[in-house]
Amino acid sequence: MLTNPILVITDHVGDPVQGFTLTGPSQQLLTLARSLTAGPVHAVALNPDPDMEALGAYGVSEVFTPDLCGVSPRVAAVVADAALAVIRQAEYAAVLNVSNYRGREVAGILAAKLHSGAAVDVTACKVVDGELQASKTVLGGTWATSFKVARGTPIISLRPSAVEAVAAEAVTSPTVTAVPVEYSAAAKAVQVVSSEEQGSDGRVALAEAPIAVIGGRGVDGDFTLVEELADALGAGVGATRVACDEGWIERSAQVGQTGVTIAPRLYIGLGVSGAVHHTCGIQASQKIVAVCDDPDAPIFELTDFGVVGDINEVVPQALEELRNLGVVNN
């Protein structure tokens, strides 16, 4: 275990009227931070009213609230400047954030300004011989790697769902510290005029889902079974590139090299052949299950459990069995 504190850059959803809620990926980051250090866990909250109850439940001892001075936390440079203002106040063992589009950019900025190193799309992190060791897949998911940041404060960006969020055994009452920030020209150069939350189908977000059900060419334009199985399991819904190209589902559902990279605890592919531009985005999945009618499909080289069959026959049987087990309602 490390002894120095770890700083976590947290994300919240909500608004000043309805209140802010700590996101699932941030809960996962805090869980990871507690497993790495015997020292305190600190958090950066880039909103005026952080979810103190959730932060305390996940073991945070101190919450830093940088003064935004009219800039938007949607801008990576703003987040990096705010985090730097906190980092320079203590000797942190590591800085953790979520590996999304903004988070990866923030990690790069922090590493450059701190003359250290950034590890993004990390799927696991542990302490080995008193140093942090991170793990991730590379080269289209064909290699699993483990490595260390050689100098300075490690900046670790963790893939959503790579760690299961677990509340701390002892709930804390975090102190709140306001932090003045001198924002860079890059942070001030971008003005967010307006933003609109992307419409949701009520399911868990694909990138954050612990279970993901993916439809491929084999669904032949009908995602009904994909959505039924996803709803039965409380899963996110995704698709291969060809399914999105055909207009069967929105582009935001695309998983793979040119889409979303996911790391669920359980991946279920329905009618997915396993082209490399798709599988490079799922290699970090803990368990891979596939149903495909082609026994020679490349997806079966990756699966922990594969079924050669017609999804229109296999999935209804699986749903019926789930109902018999009481997993879903009749």
Q: Which residue carries 């987040």 as its tokens?
A: 79
Is 12 annotated as contributing to ligand binding? no
Nearest to 145 by CA among 122, 126, 118, 116: 122
CB 270 within 8 A of CB 291: yes
Distance CA(72)–CA(68), nearest Å, equals 7
Q: Tell whether residue 277 is among the known ligand binding residues.
A: yes
Query: Is 177 known as a binding-site position?
Result: no
Q: Is 275 annotated as a binding residue?
A: yes
Tell me which amino acid residue 123 is.
T
Whole-Å CA distances, 193 to 72, 186, 241: 10, 16, 32
Does 255 appear as a known binding residue? yes
Q: Is 34 annotated as a binding residue?
A: no
Contact, 39 vs 5, CB < 8 A? Answer: yes
- The answer to whether 241 is annotated as binding is yes
On whether 271 is known to bind a ligand per the annotation, the reply is yes
Q: Is 328 exposed, middle or buried (0-12, 13-18, 19+ CB in 10 A)?
A: middle
Residue type, 137: T
| 311 annotated ligand-binding residue | yes
Determine whether the annotation assigns residue 254 to a binding site.
yes
**Cβ within 8 Å of residue 26, ≥6 positions away:** 8, 10, 11, 12, 98
274 is in an annotated binding site: yes
Q: Does 115 appear as a known binding residue?
A: no
| 217 among annotated binding-site residues | yes
Q: Is 256 annotated as a binding residue?
A: yes
Annotated binding site for FAD: 217, 240-241, 254-258, 271-278, 310-311
Annotated binding site: 217, 240-241, 254-258, 271-278, 310-311
